[in-house]
Amino acid sequence: MASSVALSEAQEHLAELLIRAEGGEEILIEREGRPAMKIVPVFSEAPTASKRIFGQNLSGITYIAPNFDDPMTNEELQEWGM
């Protein structure tokens, strides 16, 4: 659940609100009593080569093995019926 803060208070205490958001809290900023925006934590723990999502690289693009275009072995050729 997000904490609600008036816009005027958010302007005065922005640095404190950012620290709270970095700690995982969501801060809802209200303008004239209505929700206007939300400060949410951004987790920068992006997948690395060792934590790669199966089949994707860091950009979310399908992963292609470095040896993709290497010649096939005789066993692999036989499996493909060649």
Number of compact structural domains in the chain: 1
Query: Beta 3-6 vs 34-39: how paired, if at all?
Result: unpaired
- Tell how far CA 31 is from the center of its chain: 28
Does any domain span residue 69?
no
Does any domain span residue 67?
no
Residues of the chain under the 50 pLDDT cut: 47
Does any domain span residue 32?
yes
Domain extent, residue 31, equals 3-39
Q: Please name which of 73, 55, 72 lies closest in space to residue 63, comparing C-alpha atoms.
A: 55
Does any domain span residue 22?
yes
CATH number of the domain residue 10 falls in: 3.40.1620
pLDDT in tens, 66-82: 888 899 899 989 998 88
